[in-house]
Amino acid sequence: MGVVRDFFAALPEVFQALWEFGDAWQGVAVSVGSVVLIAVFAAGAYRLRGEVGWVAAFLGAFAAFVGGFWLFGILPSAWVFFVDGERLLLEGTVIPGEIVVGGNVVVEDFYNVFRDSVVMGLTFVTIAAMAFLAVWIQKRFPRQLVPGEPERASTHSSQ
């Protein structure tokens, strides 16, 4: 039970270190600002979709770019920097330094394995979520012609 007690006893110090790592309120403002920016771009894309399709596509791509920038770049990098910088605080209390699997297999550097697995997991989940979102958007909003635009010839040959 000492491990569980040590885990919970370390959490206030971990949250304080995370707050300082994220530059306190400045980090919160940048994060909220990015979410607002994504929402503005997505709302603009939704609003302009039927009127100016290329601008809507541009705004949707910008929303995806900002989200991808955070999910593929900023968050994984920040995670690695934070976990490496706070190793003395985290290792052995919040993240085990080593684990034993099956009684005889010892993973000696579990701390680094865990750190890198979180980055891989975030990357895989982000790729899957973005692919799902792209397919969902395509199905929900099929291509529309601007009023007065002639329909193009089909690329499929019907013989």
pLDDT digits (tens, 9 = 90+) for 57-88: 899 999 999 999 999 999 999 999 999 999 99
Q: Is residue 115 part of a domain?
A: yes
Confidence at residue 159, expressed as pLDDT on a 0 to 100 scale: 52
Q: Is residue 149 part of a domain?
A: no
Q: Is residue 47 part of a domain?
A: yes
Contacts of 115 (CB under 8 A, 6+ apart): 79, 80, 83, 84, 95
d(CA 56, CA 62): 10
Q: Is residue 67 part of a domain?
A: yes
Q: Is residue 151 part of a domain?
A: no
Q: Is residue 60 part of a domain?
A: yes
Q: Is residue 157 part of a domain?
A: no
Our count of domains for the chain comes to 1
- Tell whether the model's pLDDT for residue 157 goes beyond 90: no
pLDDT digits (tens, 9 = 90+) for 16-55: 999 999 999 999 999 999 999 999 999 999 999 878 878 9
Which is nearest to 53 in space by CA: 149, 132, 153? 149
pLDDT digits (tens, 9 = 90+) for 89-147: 999 899 998 888 888 888 889 999 999 999 999 999 999 999 999 999 889 887 766 67
- Tell whether the model's pLDDT for residue 158 goes beyond 60: no
Contacts of 44 (CB under 8 A, 6+ apart): 55, 56, 59
| Number of neighbouring beta carbons within 10 Å of residue 41 | 20
Q: Is residue 62 part of a domain?
A: yes
**Domain span at residue 133?**
2-140
Phi and psi at 157, nearest 5°, equal: -90, 130
Confidence at residue 2, expressed as pLDDT on a 0 to 100 scale: 80
Confidence at residue 72, expressed as pLDDT on a 0 to 100 scale: 96
